[in-house]
Structures are given as C-alpha cells and as structure tokens.
C-alpha cells in the first residue's frame, strides 16, 4: 500500500519528535524506527528527513550534537528539547481531533454499507479502501 | 559516473574500494548544491553507509546495496531543493573577513586587518601632513597620489611578500615621479601643472599594479587580474564613500542642531583621514572577497552596455545636427576622450568576466555595435578638432587630449576588428582578451611620458 505523500509529510514531524522522546537518536536510526512502527508500510524518501531535522532544529524543537558512530564515523545526533515536547503535545491534540473525526466518518461509512450494499460498478471502492 | 565507477572497481581487486569511489562520487554530486554544506553531506554519507552496511548484511553485494541505498535517499535535486528551502541564507554568499574560530587562518586574518588599519591611518597621516606642510594648494594636488598610493602598494607588497629586487623596482617610479613633480618649475595652476597632476596617479597606479601582480607583470592573466582588482576597488570605494557620506550627513545635522560648525572638523580632520583610509580598506575588502563574492563590475557592464549604446547614438545625432563644430573648444575633445574611456572600460570588464570558451552571442554583437558607435562619435569630433588645431596651433591640453584620443582609437579599432573576427568565428576569444591586456602598459608609458616630457616641451606654462 502506498501512503499519500501529503499524509506522510503531515505525520513526519510528530513521528520524529515522538521517536526522539524515547531518547537521543540519529537520522538512519530514526528512519528504521519509522519503518518498525509502520511495519515497513510508510516509505519515506530518506534524504528528505535531514532538511526536516534541520527545520526542527531551527524552530528549537530539537538540538543536535556531533558524535562518533561505533565504526568511528562522524555522526550527528538529535535530542528533543522542552519546546519540542510542548510542540509534540500540541500536535498530539490536533491529531486526536482529526483522528476522532475520521473514526466517526469510518463508522458512518460502515453503517451505510450495512444498510445499502454497494453495487460493484458504482465505483464506491474508494471509501472502502480508505477504511482498510 | 559509470566510467569512473568501472575504473574504480577495475583498479582495486577489493570490492570495498569500488564502493568508496561510488560514495565519493555521490558526495561530490550532492555538494554541488550550494544549500548543502560539507557537514550536511557528512550526515547523509553516514546514513548512506549505514544503509549499505545493513543491506550488505542481508546478502546484497556492495554495488547492489549502494544502488538501493542511493535510490532510497531520493533524487539529489529534490533533496537539495528541500535543503535550499530550509537554508535559504546559504544561497547568498557571505563574506567572512575574519573567521571567528581560533585556527591559524583566523590569526593571519587578524594580523592582516591590523596591517590594513595601520596603513590606512598611515595614509591619513601622510595626507594630513601634506595638507599642513604643502601650504600651496596646487603643490598638494600634484603630490596627493604620492601621499596615498605608497600605502596601498605597501599593503600589496606585504601581502605578496615581494622580494627586494621587486621592491626596488616598485620604489623607483615613486621616487622618479616625486622628483619630477616637485623639481619642475611649474607655473602655478598652469595647464602643464594640471596635466602632470592628472597623469601622475595613472603612472603610479601602474606601479601599484606591479605590486599587485608581485612583479610578474608580463603575464596577460596577471594584468587582467589587476584590471578586475581596479574595477572592484572603484566600486567598493564608492560604496564606502556613500556609507561614510550618510554618517557625515547625520553628524552634520546634529552639529547644526547643537549650534556648532561641523565644517572645520570635517575639512581638517575627518576627510583627510577617512578618504585615504577608505581607499586602503577598500583594497583589503577586494583582496578578501576575491572568489567569495561575485565581481560587480562585469554585472554593471551588462546593464550599461545597451544604455551607453543608446547614449552614443544620441550623441552622434547631436554632434552632426549642431553643424558648426569648428567653434567647439577643447572641452569637446576631453568629453570624447571620456566617452572612449567609458566604452573601453565596459569592454574590458565584460571581457574580464567572460568565459573564453563560450560561443559568440548577442552580447558580443552588442559590444561591437558599442565600439563602432564610439568610433563614429570620435571621428566626428576628431575631424572638427584637427581643423581647429591646424588653425590655432597646439596647446598642452590639446596635444595631450589628442594623444590620448589616438591611443584609445588604436585600442578600440583593433578591439573592434578582433571582436568582428570572433563573431565570424575566425579568431578565438583569447586573441581579443590578449590584445586588451597587452595594450594596457601603453597607457602607463603614455602617462609617464606626459608627466616627464610635456611640461618642459611647453615651458611649464
């Protein structure tokens, strides 16, 4: 399944901040964690993570420091800041509202399907697909 | 990239070496965008290597793992665009005059700044001393180049670490001109004195050029560098002057409100120190910026070449329509010399920034039109002046203006010819550039000749 790129973009900030709540991390590890959390179904363009991290750093949501990897390469680590936690809490509330509204919509769609079985050629595959 | 990769693999029996070459190539490609710094590239390279290692652990060989990892990184252009959106300030080039980290280059820069400031103050002191000691105003004007330019030449000599023979060669023109300008019995504010005062700085500027190129003045490329330096210096000095003018205007306003007269302070202290100081500082800025900030003079030529062409066409019309040019005085000749100098500068600075290998384009044709129009204006003015000189005899002003006109004429006619051949594809662009830089020392020789020979020939009137 391909997830719409706008949806990926909208969820990227809370995902990254949320992953950093677990502790300091670096780019590649953050992406691996995203893969784990989505069961490999959220495919990010890896390179795009870095401009995002830099933006979060500029906004003061994360701080960065250079460290060394276990094989001795230079590696940039990111940690969430108190401002970042506050931003994450705010995002969480926003997502809760969106998700609550969507849950009700999905419920309404299911109810409608039960009452009025859709004809195959009616093209109503879209909401059903979304409900998956 | 494919070729390099294959050679990379072929050279090293170990697969890992091929991977290193590939990663190096990728890095170079990523860093082509100005929005991506070396540390961003480090960060992404770390990512790429971690990905390659993980993919390698699942059984892919280095080549395959690299291809998959690069693909997952996404299009380099798209990622660079994203970096550019986040770091728009990086798309502007910034000039770091004195790096703030404490490495050795930072210390050198600080030392250079101190040298520049000391020389700037020195130039100010020299001018102030000149104003006080050379109580005759015309005497001061004759010597002003000798008071300021040695400090600029000194800075360049320090920067280029000139050897004693070059230093001696550099000192000679200053000494010779100092003697000539102060020993000749000029008629006060006579025309030969004004001519000498105007030409001495040109001759001294050639000496500054000698310091700039570190004594290697025979190389065309070095002379072109000095031309670039001169143009940028003029622009930076103008910018400093405008900024200084704003400060002085505000100060004068406050003095006036407070009921104090600002002018004596301005004339006796602020200007004698600030103007020569700004000159030396401008030279330092141009030296420091060199490859960091785009040259401005060639940018201005792009704007002013078409405008100047329009001006020349209008001028030619006015000259032809006015009819009776025999009545025109030497001011016309001097004006026309000014026009030719302007056209020459436009030509020179656009050549200084042009890629010699680029094919002839519309702008090159426009420049040819500019030179031809300038020559047409010159022809109209010159015929009028020659009849006049034949009628009324030669004066120092006329002879010098006419001589300069001839020099410029030769310069521009040959330049127009080479430009035409270049547009036709018969001569390389390099021939045109070479002509421009080879001809420049002629102006220095001319200036020296004018200062040394014209006053005695005309009896110092």
Distance in angstroms (rounded) separating the CA atoms of residues B132 and B134: 6
The chain A residue lying nearest B68, using CA atoms, is A46
* Nearest chain A CA: its distance from B110 CA (Å): 29
Contacts of A48 in chain B (CB under 8 A): 74, 78-79, 82
Mean pLDDT score of chain B: 85
Distance in angstroms (rounded) separating the CA atoms of residues B62 and B68: 10
Distance in angstroms (rounded) separating the CA atoms of residues B201 and B196: 9
Q: How confident is the model at residue A45 (pLDDT cuts 50, 70, 90)?
A: confident
Residue carrying the six token digits 């820069």: B109
Judged by average pLDDT, the poorest of B25-34, B144-153, B158-167, B249-258 is B25-34
> What is the tens place of the pLDDT at every residue in A74-106?
899 999 999 999 999 999 999 999 999 999 999
Structure confidence at residue B86 (pLDDT) = 83
Which helix (DSSP H) or strand (DSSP E) does residue A76 occupy? strand A74-80
User: Which residues, 6+ apart, have CB-to-CB distance to B365 below 8 Å?
Assistant: B423
A39 touches chain B (CB under 8 A): no
Q: What percent of chain B shows pLDDT beyond 90?
A: 40
Beta-carbon separation of A46 and B74 below 8 A: yes
- Chain B interface residues (partner A, CB cutoff 8 A): 39-40, 42-44, 46-47, 49-51, 72-76, 78-79, 82-83, 85-87
The chain A residue lying nearest B69, using CA atoms, is A46
Q: Give the pTM.
A: 0.70
User: What is the CB-side half-sphere exposure of residue A10 using CA atoms within 13 A?
Assistant: 9
Q: Does residue A66 surpass a pLDDT of 50?
A: yes
Contacts of A74 in chain B (CB under 8 A): 42, 46
A110 touches chain B (CB under 8 A): no
Longest dimension (CA), chain B: 98
Q: How confident is the model at residue B122 (pLDDT cuts 50, 70, 90)?
A: very high
Q: How confident is the model at residue B12 (pLDDT cuts 50, 70, 90)?
A: very low
Q: Does residue A131 surpass a pLDDT of 50?
A: no
Domains (ranges, CATH) in chain A? Answer: 5-131 (1.10.10.10)
Structure confidence at residue A83 (pLDDT) = 93
Residue carrying the six token digits 């000494």: B175
Q: Does residue B250 surpass a pLDDT of 90?
A: yes
Facing A46 at nearest CB: one of B40, B73, B87: B73
Contacts of A5 in chain B (CB under 8 A): none
Query: What ipTM, to 2 d.p.?
Result: 0.78
Contacts of A27 in chain B (CB under 8 A): 43-44, 46-47
CB B415 within 8 A of CB B347: yes
CB B375 within 8 A of CB B410: no
CB A56 within 8 A of CB A17: yes
CB B159 within 8 A of CB B109: no
Q: What angle do CA A79, A84, A87 make, to 5 degrees?
A: 155
Token pair for B364:
């090159």
Q: Does residue A124 surpass a pLDDT of 60?
A: no
* Nearest chain B CA: its distance from A19 CA (Å): 17
CB B163 within 8 A of CB B170: no
Q: Does residue B377 surpass a pLDDT of 90?
A: no
Question: How distant, in Å, are the alpha carbons of A74, B171, B457 from that of B196?
Answer: 65, 19, 13
Judged by average pLDDT, the poorest of A34-43, B5-14, B204-213, B346-355 is B5-14
């Amino acid at each position: 399944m391909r997830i719409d790129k706008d949806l990926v973009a909208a969820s990227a900030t809370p995902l990254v901040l949320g992953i950093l709540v677990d502790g300091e991390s670096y780019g590649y590890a953050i992406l691996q964690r995203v893969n784990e959390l989505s069961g490999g179904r959220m495919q990010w363009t890896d390179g795009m993570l870095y401009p995002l991290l830099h933006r979060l750093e500029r906004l003061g949501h994360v701080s960065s420091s250079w460290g060394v990897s276990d094989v001795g390469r230079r590696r940039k680590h990111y940690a969430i800041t108190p401002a970042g936690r506050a931003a994450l809490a705010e995002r969480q509330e926003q997502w809760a509202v969106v998700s609550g509204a969507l849950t009700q919509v999905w419920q309404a769609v299911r109810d409608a399907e039960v009452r009025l079985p859709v004809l195959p050629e009616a093209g109503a595959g879209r909401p059903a697909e979304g409900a998956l | 990239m494919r070729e390099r990769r294959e050679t990379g693999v072929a050279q090293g029996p170990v697969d890992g070496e091929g991977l290193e070459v590939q990663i190096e190539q990728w890095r170079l490609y990523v860093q082509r965008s100005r929005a991506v710094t070396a540390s961003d590239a480090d960060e992404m390279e770390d990512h790429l290597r971690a990905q390659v290692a993980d993919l390698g652990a699942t059984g892919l060989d280095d080549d395959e793992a690299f291809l998959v990892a690069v693909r997952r990184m996404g299009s380099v252009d798209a990622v660079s665009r994203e970096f550019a959106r986040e770091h728009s300030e990086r798309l502007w080039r910034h000039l770091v005059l004195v790096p703030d980290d404490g490495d050795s280059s930072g210390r050198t820069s600080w030392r250079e700044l101190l040298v520049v400031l000391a020389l700037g103050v020195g130039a100010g002191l020299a001018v102030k001393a000149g104003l006080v000691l050379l109580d005759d105003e015309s005497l001061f004007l004759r010597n002003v180049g000798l008071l300021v330019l040695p400090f600029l030449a000194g800075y360049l000599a320090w920067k280029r670490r000139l050897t004693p023979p070059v230093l001696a060669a550099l000192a000679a023109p200053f000494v010779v001109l100092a003697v000539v300008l102060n020993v000749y019995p000029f008629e006060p504010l006579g025309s030969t004195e004004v001519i000498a005062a105007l030409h001495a700085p040109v001759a001294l500027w050639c000496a500054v050029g000698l310091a700039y190129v570190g004594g290697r003045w025979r190389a065309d490329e070095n002379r072109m560098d000095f031309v670039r330096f001169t143009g940028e210096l003029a622009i930076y000095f103008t910018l400093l002057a405008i900024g200084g003018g704003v400060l002085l205007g505000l100060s004068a306003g406050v003095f006036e409100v407070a009921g104090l007269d600002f002018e004596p302070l301005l004339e006796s202290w602020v200007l004698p120190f600030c103007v020569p100081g700004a000159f030396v500082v401008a030279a330092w800025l141009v030296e420091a910026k060199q490859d960091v900030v785009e040259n401005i003079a060639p940018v201005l030529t792009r704007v002013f070449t078409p405008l100047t062409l329009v001006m020349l066409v209008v001028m030619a019309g006015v000259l032809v329509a006015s009819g009776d040019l025999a009545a025109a005085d030497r001011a016309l000749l001097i004006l026309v010399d000014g026009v030719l100098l302007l056209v020459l500068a436009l030509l020179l600075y656009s050549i200084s920034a042009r890629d010699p290998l680029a094919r002839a384009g519309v702008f090159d044709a426009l420049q040819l039109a500019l030179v031809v129009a300038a020559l047409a204006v010159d022809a109209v003015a010159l015929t009028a002046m020659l009849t006049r000189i034949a009628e009324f005899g030669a004066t120092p002003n006329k002879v010098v203006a006419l001589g300069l006109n001839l020099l410029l004429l030769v310069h521009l006619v040959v330049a127009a010819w080479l430009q035409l051949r270049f547009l036709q594809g018969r001569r390389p662009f390099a021939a045109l550039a070479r002509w421009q830089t080879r001809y420049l020392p002629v102006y220095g020789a001319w200036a020296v000749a004018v200062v040394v020979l014209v006053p005695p020939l005309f009896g110092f009137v």
